Structure 1
Amino acid sequence: MKFAAFSGVFIDHSIQEAMQLTKRLGMDGIEIAVREPHLSPATSLPRVKEMKTLADSLGLEIPALAGYMGGFSTASDIEAEKAFDDFKRMLPIADELGASMIRVMPGGPNAFLAHDYHFAKAAHWLDKCAAEAEALGIRIVLEIHNLSLVETVDSSLRLLGLLKHDNVGMIHDAGNMYITDTDYGRDSVDKLGKHLFHVHVKDERRIEKAGEPGTFVNLTHRGEESFLQSRLGEGEADHQPLFDALLDKGYKDWVTLECHAPFPAYERLEHDLRFIKNMLGRMSR
């Protein structure tokens, strides 16, 4: 497996600083958040070339661009067209950076509240994105995420089953899946099968009430629930079954660490990378 830092963890730093901190951590690459001050559809080509030059000089790969464009399922036609235009503007940027994946957001609502037309509309626009990306050999990744159509493996496969293109797949995210209260262990990996393109890692914990730093409220099938963003091993999302399954599957692709716990950015990623490497070390013995 190869490990990347999510640049969004370092959003208070410039992208140059984020890359340098990622290198200091000993990561293999950096997944760049498509959010200023790091990157956007309006980023100029000279600036993109500068990012690529710095990444190459540091020996960092850029496996994916974490886009926020999309929301197709609930967007108006005008909004959907704008999101599609933003996506198309990201394609040459991804190509220049050597990123083989771009994250797109299909939209909501929660899968258990969604109707057929939400899935149909998202599929229509995702197929348009996929057709554009295919020419450059770029894959689209949808993150299994609470508050979205793809908040479980089953709802993800439902949406993928409506697509005409096969260069669209899923980001497995155990932290998000813990929030949704759906399986995120071996069964989830097995059911995704060939549709598992990428992995995100973070931890969360249910709490009585939000309000403190690192807490938030989310709608789940249980109703409004409160959560605390946590470092690995300090929350309640057990990643051991996930990594057991990934190793058994022979997964050799990217795992992006994106901890948002209320600790300094470098410290939380350093903790999570150490936790995973210790876990993998125990598994190999």
Structure 2
Amino acid sequence: MMKYAIFTVMTPDCSLERTAQLLKEYGYQGVEWRFTNNDPSKKNEQPSFWGNNLSTVPADSTEEELAGIRALMDAAGLEAPNLASYIGCGDLAATERAMKAAKQLGAPSIRIGVPNYDRSRPYDALFAEARSYLQEAEKLSAEHGVKAMIEVHHGNIASSASAARRLVDGFDPNRIGVIYDPGNMVHEGFEQYKMGLEILGPYLGHVHVKNAVWQRTDASVPATDSADHAPVWRSAWGPLREGAVHWPTVIAALKEIGYDGWLSFEDFSGSAPTETLLRDNIAYIKSLVG
């Protein structure tokens, strides 16, 4: 039976306490905390997904502070499917800190980073760097009992399911896994959903739920001189029901492979107030799961 959580990057205007309260109210079973230190210079700004996000667990939280958050979760009946840390490839100290925090919060896994691909370095070098890091992360996972998971994400060297599988192939799937994210694959890395899930096989950790769209830019008519041709299309976040990801197909594919894990929402569309999205998104996906 699939279970429902949110990645709290999507609730920037809610405190940790308010987030837990809303998740309990709308029938979620889990919370995937955003785990990083907010930029102090953004403290007085309006709440935003990746800026002054009020639903963030600081990466430098003390054991006492983490115990308080765990108590908050327990009171709301919430599990932690994953700790969504922001760890650069190769940062073993941050990896170990996040694993220790995850263990205290009851999370079986953390998110770790792989290199971005910006054309400044060849793919083979980035691949070797990531594999070396994963080898060390696998050792830390065995030591702390917390899995390390990469995310299928545009802009990095694991932007598709097949690229992610190639990166993690050969590691213990109990120690190294992959977060599958169809919304990210609208921007880059689309593969037929069921095939991608089959490719990931035992490395499939959990699934992020959001959507994105392709929009026409102002350069709607290509320039006559190809050297001046500007992009005609750009990708952007969109409402869950209206984006390029056909969630009925994704849910059907997950059912067909026997998936019974977590669906973790992270809606960046801004199409409705946070509370409305929390209520409506879970109702929509539950209607597809049946």
Alignment of 1:112-127 (within 5 A): 114-127=122-135
- Aligned in 2, Cα 1:51/1:233: closer, same or farther, shift over 3 Å? same
Give the superposition deviation at 1:241. Answer: 2.1
1:61 paired to 2:79: yes
- Aligned in 2, Cα 1:55/1:247: closer, same or farther, shift over 3 Å? same
Question: How far, CA to CA, are the matches of 1:224 and 1:153 in structure 2?
Answer: 27
1:274 paired to 2:275: no
Question: How far, CA to CA, are the matches of 1:273 and 1:110 in structure 2?
Answer: 35
Give the superposition deviation at 1:209. Answer: 3.0
**2:110 aligns to what?**
102
1:52 paired to 2:70: yes
- Aligned in 2, Cα 1:99/1:184: closer, same or farther, shift over 3 Å? farther
Asked if the contact 2:159/2:189 (under 8 Å) is kept, the reply is no
More helix by share: 1
Give the superposition deviation at 1:92. Answer: 1.6
- Aligned in 2, Cα 1:162/1:253: closer, same or farther, shift over 3 Å? closer
Give the superposition deviation at 1:172. Answer: 0.8
**2:269 aligns to what?**
261
Alignment of 1:168-207 (within 5 A): 168-207=176-215
RMSD: 2.2
Normalised by the size of structure 1, how large is the TM-score? 0.84
Give the superposition deviation at 1:186. Answer: 1.0
Q: Percent identity?
A: 26
Aligned residue for 2:155, secondary structure, equals coil
- Aligned in 2, Cα 1:184/1:200: closer, same or farther, shift over 3 Å? farther
Question: How far, CA to CA, are the matches of 1:85 and 1:136 in structure 2?
Answer: 13
Asked if the contact 1:48/1:97 (under 8 Å) is kept, the reply is yes
1:252 paired to 2:243: no
Q: How many residue pairs get matched?
A: 259
**1:23 aligns to what?**
24
Question: How far, CA to CA, are the matches of 1:168 and 1:90 in structure 2?
Answer: 15
Asked if the contact 1:231/1:272 (under 8 Å) is kept, the reply is no
Question: How far, CA to CA, are the matches of 2:231 and 2:167 in structure 1?
Answer: 24
Asked if the contact 1:177/1:184 (under 8 Å) is kept, the reply is no
**1:39 aligns to what?**
57
Deviation per residue, 1:167-193 (Å, 9 max, x gap):
111111111112215214111111111
Asked if the contact 1:144/1:150 (under 8 Å) is kept, the reply is yes
Asked if the contact 1:2/1:254 (under 8 Å) is kept, the reply is yes
Which letter maps to 2:28?
Answer: M
- Aligned in 2, Cα 1:250/1:190: closer, same or farther, shift over 3 Å? same
Which of these two proteins has the greater Rg computed from alpha carbons? 2
- Aligned in 2, Cα 1:114/1:182: closer, same or farther, shift over 3 Å? farther
Structure 1 gaps, min length 5:
73-79, 211-221
Give the superposition deviation at 1:64. Answer: 0.6
Which letter maps to 1:243?
Answer: I
Asked if the contact 2:138/2:171 (under 8 Å) is kept, the reply is no
Question: How far, CA to CA, are the matches of 1:133 and 1:34 in structure 2?
Answer: 18
Alignment of 1:150-169 (within 5 A): 150-161=158-169, 163=171, 167-169=175-177
Aligned residue for 1:150, secondary structure, equals coil
Question: How far, CA to CA, are the matches of 1:184 and 1:32 in structure 2?
Answer: 29
Which range moves more in the overlay, 41-50 or 122-131?
A: 122-131
